Structure 1
């Protein structure tokens, strides 16, 4: 082939490549439309682990779509107050939010099951029920009636039982205690004489400091240390029997979710699953050192007595019977989760419990 023939053919091929590129660009743009959403959080930025779940979702979605689908997270109060996040999504004020479902039990007690109910599931079983059981589908049947679609997007693991300004040794010690506590746990504690208060995370410290409340549960050592709760309430109780494995959700306006291209829905669902896994890993990594620091700075660890736990368990089952009798949505989802829980804890007695107990004995004896 002579030189002029080669150049001529190369030029023709180049023009074809340019034309193909010109045709491909609009096709790619059509497949990956430019979308910008706002995600309001129920958490302040200072709580980097739990607020970070929203940031993880946004970053994963942006990376997977090469920046075509952008979600901008906003801290509680920047768009709407933290406890109004789901309302903002339902009404279409924002496209999505990152929050706890149980913050909205005032609208319907069924919301509580989406996060955690007293004496419910631990974090591992929560994921099993959501992802391999009926959890996601059943909860979304309910969320659809609220104009939303929801996906698990974080978990803290079993939480602490909260901070008290005085020791709680008996059931009588709970009577009249004003406690910040969310979800159905507030109704259970109310049966034990507690006066429940619904207060956003960023407002807990000043409420304890001023004596507006006598006690508060939040999450666990890492977040509680960030809030400085040990400085205004000395006694740190465990376990948080009302939150064995609380799920944080990403909620999406139902119309906005349905309007997304299918592959964007898949990308967003994968991003929520990533956030769900990573948040739990963060807490498991950060809580041990935070607990040591809290104790070093004066926190006094105390277990809830067996008397309190038994009374709370009885109050919880009584409450679930009442709710099931009056709320078909609650009953349907609660019954499904309970059936799963019954068998799951049979297995956990043989597996997790025996292994973890042995390893904890080794830790206590200094062998690890």
Structure 2
């Protein structure tokens, strides 16, 4: 009897170890500077959501401490800090690194590009994720990248006056992000890159004439409506915007497989949560903006055609970079095939 009990106890102990491998893993503290404040819905809230869940999901073997923008590392320095090991993780959007790697912008937001479902389809079931990691590897960055949030369209600009024709853009100074900024430059707009917290002051002082930043609910928090009253849609420059969790490669390689799986799974869940959060709050923010005297305007056909034709000129220039050309070709092939489904599977849209 004693022998049987001893054998049973050993079996239970062995099974417990097998099914709770995370209990044996080294504990990891991810110090995570972020590029967007956690007070900004769907922009900064996703990484806070991840940080609150990673500890129980990982069996208490991973903790994440989030540092608000500039508290530990400046937003534009996050990639270098994670790669060098100054910090072991960071949260931003790849478009911030387009000056270092032109293709990075294609993993952030693409003018006239895919909406969130198509973007995620290419990323997770096409070649997107492989090309995404390959970009960092080829450029010599010591990071593991995990797509960790996504939002749907942004507004395409706040202006002090109506923009009805191409000439109305010329001479304006505008805060603009990503590849869309290169489109605006070609159209005679002087663009600057400012963090969200500095845009209101720049508009108020007249340092800039116009700005785009994010979705209506986020722009509402930043108070743009108090200064500029013409808000233009659609967000042709950012039909979807993806955000990334960067992890130092040495830290990542030192993790157990179940720890890596916990982070991958939680980031995938965050993609779902962030798109749902963003979609849920835009209409209320737009209604409130109208009550505050904001005119919500849809670009006329002439302006949209101009933006798109100018964007294609930018693409040809960017394709001089071999990796940009490689990613663009793959994304374009995927989108061409996806068009068969998109053109037949969805109801026509009403503007």
TM-score of the pair, normalised by structure 1 = 0.88
- C-alpha separation in 1, matches of 2:347 and 2:251: 43
Give 3-state SS (helix, strand or coil) of 2:95's partner: helix
Distance 1:56 1:92 in 2: 24
Task: Mark the CA change 1:353 to 1:194 in structure 2 (over 3 Å): closer, same or farther.
Answer: farther
Match among 99, 103, 107 for residue 114 of structure 1: 107
The residue number in structure 2 matching 1:307 is: 302
CA-CA distance at 1:42 after TM superposition: 0.5
Distance 1:103 1:181 in 2: 12
SS of 2:154 mapped into structure 1: coil
Larger radius of gyration: 1
Once the two structures are TM-superposed, the CA of residue 289 in structure 1 deviates from its matched residue by 0.9
> What is residue 345 of structure 1 aligned with on the other side?
339
Alignment of 1:86-235 (within 5 A): 86-144=79-137, 145=139, 146-235=141-230
Task: Give CA deviations for 1:261-311 in whole Å, capped at 9, x if unaligned.
Answer: 111111101111111110000011111111111111111111122222111
2-structure distance, mates of 1:68, 1:309: 50
Deviation at 1:30, TM superposition (A): 6.2
Give how far 1:29 is off: 6.5
Equivalent position of 1:33 in the other structure: 26
User: 5+ unaligned residues in a row in structure 1: which ranges?
Assistant: 1-5, 361-368
Structure 2 Cα separation of the partners of residues 263 and 287 of structure 1: 37
Once the two structures are overlaid, the 10-residue window that deviates more, 254-263 or 96-105, is 254-263
Q: TM-score, normalised by structure 2?
A: 0.92
Unpaired runs of at least 5, structure 2:
none
Q: In structure 2, what is the equivalent of residue 3 of structure 1? A: none
Report the alpha carbon displacement of residue 13 of structure 1 after superposing the two structures with TM. Answer: 5.7
In structure 2, the partner of 1:53 is 46
- Helix, strand or coil for the counterpart of 2:44? helix
Matched residue count? 348
TM superposition shift of 1:17:
5.4
Listed as ranges, the matches of 1:237-256 within 5 Å are: 237-256=232-251
Determine the structure 2 residue equivalent to 1:366. none
Q: Cα distance, 1:141 vs. partner?
A: 0.3
| Structure 1 CA distance for aligned equivalents of residues 326 and 290 of structure 2 | 43
- Mark the CA change 1:297 to 1:69 in structure 2 (over 3 Å): closer, same or farther: same
Asked if the contact 1:56–1:271 (Cα under 8 Å) also holds between the matched residues in 2, the reply is: no
- The equivalent residue for 1:327 is 321
CA contact (8 A) 1:104 1:183 kept: no
Tell me the alpha carbon deviations over residues 71-117 of structure 1, each in whole angstroms, 9 at most, x when there is no partner: 11111111112222222212222111111110121112111001112
Greater mean alpha carbon deviation, residues 145-154 or residues 130-139: 145-154
CA distance in 2, matches of 1:353, 1:197: 38
Distance 2:21 2:263 in 1: 19
Post-superposition Cα deviations, 1:201-247, rounded to whole Å, max 9, x if no partner, equal: 11111111111111111111111111111112111001110111111
2:231 counterpart SS class:
strand
